[in-house]
Structures are given as C-alpha cells and as structure tokens.
Amino acid sequence: MKTIKILYVVPNLGVCNGVASYAMNYFRYINKEKVKIDFLLLNSLPTPYYEEIERTGSKIIILPPLKQGIFKFLKALDKVFKAEKYDIIHCNLVNIGAVILRYAKKNGIKIRILHSHGTRSADLKWKEIRNDTITPITKYYSTDFFACSKLAGEFLFGKSQYYVINNAIDESNYIYDEKERELIRNKLSLENNFVVGTVGRFQPQKNPLFLIEIFLELKKKCNNAKLLWVGSGIMEKEIKHKINELKLDDDVILLGDRSDVQSLYQAMDVFLLPSLYEGLPVVGIESQCSGLPTIVSDTITMEMKITNLVTFLSIEESAKKWAEVVINCTKNFIRINVEKDICDHGYSIKNEARYIEKMYKELVKR
C-alpha cells in the first residue's frame, strides 16, 4: 500500500501546548514509511519542533493571520490543498476548522477528521457562543470524529460515533530517576526545598491566579516551598503582577516554555493542575508517569486517573483546602516506577501509534 499522506491542523507547535504535544508524540512514533504527516499551523511560535519535523522530510505550513484578511487566508488554504494531494486531513481546531474542512472537501480530501480535545468551547462567554454556533458547520464538513477522552467525545459529538485516541507518551522518558532529580534540583538551587510544579499555558482555562493563591497558602504551612512553573501565554503580565503583589517573587520560578519538561518533573515533589476544564491533559499522564502525586480539579475527566497518584479536588474548595491536600498527600510518600500502569492503560505511544496507523489505513481503504 502507498504511503498515506496526512495533514495535521493544530493552532501552533508551542512546547507547552497540549494539542501540539499530542501531535508530536504521534508524529515521532508513527511508521513514516506507511504514514507521512505534514503540519498546518494558524500561527508560528519559537519551538524546537520545526527542525525535528523538517529533518524527516515533513512540511510545516503556516497560514497568514486572519487579521490580514479572509481572502488571503482562503487563497493560502486553496494553494496548500492544490499543491499536496492529502489522503486525510486531521483537524484539531473546532472553530476555524469549519473553513479549513470545507476547503479540504472542496479540494477533494475524502477523509476529514475532527478531533475533540476539550470539554468546553472557549474561556470567555462571547467566544463560547461564537464557537457553539460554528461547531455544527465544522462537524458537517467532517467525515470522522476522534476524541482524547470519552468526556471530550460526548461534549463535542454527543451520540455520534467517535474514536478515543489516547494522549499517549513515551513512558521511558518520564520514569523517576533519583540521579536526574538530584542533578536538576542542584541546577535550580532547590536542594532543600519542597517543590510544587505545574506545566501549562498562561490562560484562563488553567486557572493560574487560583494556583498562586494555593501556593500562598502552602507557603504559610511550609516555609521552604517553591513553585516551579513551566509555560507562557496571554496572562503572563497578570500572573507576574499577582506574584509580585503577594511578595512571592523569590519563591515562584517561572521557567517559560521548555523542551526538557521530562527532566523538570524529576525535580518536583507534587504536581498541581487546578484547571477550569480539560479534555484529558497530556501533562497529567506525564506527571503520573514521573511518579508524582498529582492533584487536579474535579472538572477533569476521571479517565485521567490511571494510577493511585491522582487526587481530584473541587475548584469550589478554598485555596487553603488545596494546600492542606498537597501536604497530606506527600506525607511519607515514596516515589515508585509506574511504567506498567501507563502501558496497561493504553498510554504508551509505541503501542498507540500502531493503533492510529491502523485507523488511518482503514479510513483510507473505506
């Protein structure tokens, strides 16, 4: 059978973007003799992924910003689809996906996948109304539905048929390593600290201001606590102001976007994710694989709990309560290797890449 050509549509390839992490994990482990993946992006961010992608012979196509005009955007889309004859378009965007999938159909791409990664369409109410209005159009131009979890699938597709594609990882990169932990903690001058960590974009969905409040309460109980924060985004100025206002500048370490997140997990003692909503966060799988106690909001699907390391807590609870849970779940805690749990629950990328290859093959044959 000839190589299947697929176009992955993602917002960007930022290293702290969950959708980008999902796409890159499958890109790395898919059989490139059977499946060739190119990327279509809405915007470009500094990232080490570009070099990695292009080294394999795959392409990165960046669309012109919509603010430059819809006609320029549509002309660029037409050019992409005419230049490359893709067998499948795998779209990970719901709102602008309506336009992209329509033009994919217009240009003869027969398999058009829409992939759900969330349980809410937007952070802001007006954006939610806009996206909920557009979503039926996006689904109309799709031929097949994927979702990162049952909760994300039910949210976007209701009773329609969809396939769950796990947010799988290379578990070997995250297994707890005592020597690596010591090395990273020394490098960051955290040798004698209790380290709370989080990974995620600085945006309302991740509930970052509440995270700072939790850490403030934790500091009252644990004077040597430090917050290790990986990410960047639109709320950066607001977050820095809050940290300064609460006099936490010396205790919150903002690392920006990092490509060595697997090593940074080793330095942490507990992982926090008080998100307002999620589909199924890749970082939650990574933190468990690293053997970390993982405390997340109960808005996140129970499907994320693939080990006993996860504790769900309501975002309606006080920051003080969250801080108490952080301390209690780390008392007498010993980190262990949970690699078998990751594999047994279907989150090993080596296995899941074979599954998605099979899915693509069956869709094309159909």
Query: What DSSP assignment string belongs to 43-99?
Result: S----THHHHHHHTT--EEEPPPGGG-HHHHHHHHHHHHHHS--SEEEE--SSTHHH
Residue 332: give its domain's CATH number: 3.40.50.2000
Q: What secondary structure letter does DSSP report for 21?
A: H
Count of structural domains, the chain: 2
Together in a domain, 184 and 327: yes
Which amino acid does the sequence have at 49?
Y
Together in a domain, 184 and 116: no
Helix count and strand count (H, E) for the chain: 14, 13
Together in a domain, 159 and 198: no
Together in a domain, 176 and 304: yes
Express each pLDDT in 47-75 by its tens digit: 999 999 999 999 999 999 988 889 999 99
Express each pLDDT in 192-236 by its tens digit: 999 999 999 999 999 999 999 999 999 999 999 999 999 999 999
Query: For the whole model, what pTM was predicted?
Result: 0.92
Distances (CA, A) of 256 to 17, 57, 198, 236: 12, 29, 11, 10
Let me know how long the chain is.
Answer: 366
Predicted local confidence at residue 130, as pLDDT: 87
Together in a domain, 149 and 230: no
Range of the domain at 332: 171-344
Q: Is 176 exposed, middle or buried (0-12, 13-18, 19+ CB in 10 A)?
A: middle
Together in a domain, 100 and 158: yes
Together in a domain, 218 and 187: yes
Together in a domain, 253 and 358: no
Together in a domain, 232 and 281: yes
